[in-house]
């Protein structure tokens, strides 16, 4: 990836070329065939009305199809569905199977287990039932060697639901949609053992106090992960790790929290790559879906990876601001955080943290409002750290250890502070209270800059670098054991 060193006025925008992700899955259905069905094409459909119903389907072969529908009638639900589709251990093991589950009501549970290639699993729970809650859905794809190009989707509406997908081997896609509060979504993808590239995972949540967790690991690369959350006090965590000695390559992770426009994360193409000349305004516009108290965490291990966080909204002590943290270990990685874009100039109290370990990495942050804090650390050579803040009482703390690193930072407003510490042969550019526009260019800026540079042999930072204690994001993403009951004990 070509690296660009931009001026303080442009501040990083042109250099972040992030990808676009999915919203693919759905499919499933299929079924068909009854009279005179071919012996190699199994299919089945069941419909149950009422509470505490049980369905168990087991199919072996290729081009199989199973569909179940359970309605709660006038009751509470409590239905269970279990579907397993496998194939003989061969090159055609469990190919092109479809499994669809639809459950209406509360406290329903569904398990779908598919082995093989080109399978599709779709689970829908709640079905816009106003009383829907506490449903559990689990989709597992790829327990045999032939396990690639599978698609899984879970849709849940209501509160206190849990959705989990796990896919192993190659080129799989997973999509989880949840509408309501206190929901949990887990997407796990492992590219082993042969390490073919290209998993994709997307989690969409609308409501408050939701949690999203995405983990992509193994020997593969070129994975995409997207989380979209609209509401307050939501948490997101994305992990992309490569277990091969060479490390992961060209993974992409994105989190959007609080955007009033459903497809706001398309900012990638329409705004962040545009030729903006006035980032000072942080994109004055009409987005109205502010989010408060959101948490985003991203971790990437490997090379040529890209991570971005978009948090639309800013708080104070009440409501609280948003928190974003990014960690990248490897070379040629890019990390970007924007907070409170399109937001109120009085919004603030957001916190952004970026840690990069490696060479030729690039980190950038843009914040609008009051009382933001930004902490950046880069360990390695030829790294670039960039930031821009517009407003009052904002703080930047950037640390670089290594050789030939660059810092570009700019603040527009008053009572702002910047600390730059560089250990090695570096360069920096700091601009505060720029002219042309209010509140920038005002007299009596009351801004401060503190810079320490040491030569290649310098070892003692010399400045108390305790900018702010690292925040404990307190994310507990232990994947819950769904423990879905056996619908047919002893069968």
Q: How far, in Å, CA of 382 to CA of 360, rounded? A: 5
Q: How far, in Å, CA of 329 to CA of 248, rounded? A: 10
The answer to whether the CB of 164 falls within 8 A of the CB of 140 is no
Q: Is the pLDDT of residue 344 over 50?
A: yes
pLDDT 10s digits, 218-254: 765 788 899 999 988 899 999 988 766 555 578 889 8
The answer to whether the CB of 260 falls within 8 A of the CB of 200 is no
pLDDT given for residue 274 in this prediction: 34
Longest dimension (CA), the chain: 87
pLDDT given for residue 278 in this prediction: 37
pLDDT 10s digits, 381-414: 999 998 888 778 888 999 999 888 888 888 877 7
Peptide bond between residue 193 and the one before it cis (omega within 30 degrees of 0)? yes
Going by C-alpha positions, the residue among 160, 103, 162, 102 that lies closest to residue 133 is: 160
pLDDT 10s digits, 419-444: 888 887 778 888 777 665 454 455 55
Q: Residue 334, SS3?
A: strand
Instruction: Categorise residue 91: left if φ over 0, alpha if ψ from -120 to 50, beta otherwise.
Output: alpha
pTM for the predicted model, two decimal places: 0.85
Q: What percent of the chain has pLDDT over 90?
A: 22
DSSP state of 346: T
């Amino acid at each position: 990836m070509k690296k660009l060193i931009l001026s303080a006025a442009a501040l990083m925008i042109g250099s972040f070329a992030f990808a676009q992700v999915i919203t693919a899955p759905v499919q499933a259905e299929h079924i068909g065939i009854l009279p005179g069905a071919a012996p190699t094409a199994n299919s089945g459909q069941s419909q149950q009305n009422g509470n505490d119903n049980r369905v168990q389907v087991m199919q072996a072969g290729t081009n199989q199809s199973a569909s179940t529908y359970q309605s709660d009638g006038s009751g509470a639900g409590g239905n269970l569905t279990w579907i397993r589709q496998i194939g003989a251990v061969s090159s055609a093991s469990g190919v092109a199977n479809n499994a669809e589950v639809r459950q209406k009501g509360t406290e329903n549970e569904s398990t779908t287990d598919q082995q093989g290639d080109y399978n599709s699993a779709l689970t829908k729970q709640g079905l816009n039932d106003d009383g829907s809650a506490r449903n559990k859905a689990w989709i597992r794809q790829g327990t045999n060697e032939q396990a690639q190009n599978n698609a899984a989707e879970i849709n849940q509406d209501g509160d206190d639901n849990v959705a989990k997908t796990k896919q192993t081997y190659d080129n799989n896609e997973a999509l989880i949609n949840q509408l309501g509060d206190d929901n949990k979504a887990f997407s796990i993808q492992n590219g082993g053992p042969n390490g073919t590239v290209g998993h994709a995972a997307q989690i969409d949540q609308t409501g408050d106090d939701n949690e999203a967790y995405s983990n992509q690991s193994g020997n593969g690369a070129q994975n995409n992960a997207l989380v979209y959350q609209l509401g307050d006090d939501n948490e997101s965590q994305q992990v992309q790790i490569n277990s091969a000695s060479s490390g992961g390559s060209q993974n992409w992770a994105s989190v959007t929290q609080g955007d009033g426009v459903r497809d706001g994360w398309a900012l990638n193409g329409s705004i962040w790559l545009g030729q903006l000349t006035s980032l000072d305004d942080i994109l004055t516009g009409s987005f109205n879906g502010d989010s408060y108290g959101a948490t985003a965490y991203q971790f990437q291990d490997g090379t040529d990876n890209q991570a971005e966080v978009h948090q639309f909204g800013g708080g104070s002590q009440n409501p609280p601001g948003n928190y974003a943290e990014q960690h990248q270990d490897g070379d040629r990685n890019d990390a970007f955080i924007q907070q409170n874009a399109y937001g109120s100039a009085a919004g603030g109290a957001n916190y952004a943290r970026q840690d990069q370990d490696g060479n030729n990495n690039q980190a950038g942050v843009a914040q609008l409002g009051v009382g933001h804090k930004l902490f950046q650390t880069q360990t390695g050579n030829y790294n670039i750290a960039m930031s821009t803040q517009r407003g009052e009482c904002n703080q930047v703390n950037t640390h670089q250890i290594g050789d030939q690193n660059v810092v570009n930072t700019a603040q527009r407003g008053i009572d702002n502070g910047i600390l730059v510490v560089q250990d090695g042969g570096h360069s920096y550019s700091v601009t505060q209270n720029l002219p042309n526009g209010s509140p920038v260019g005002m007299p009596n800026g009351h801004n401060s800059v503190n810079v320490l540079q040491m030569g290649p042999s310098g070892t003692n930072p010399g400045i108390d670098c305790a900018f702010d204690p690292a925040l404990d994001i307190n994310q507990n993403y232990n994947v819950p054991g769904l423990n879905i009951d056996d619908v047919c004990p002893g069968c």
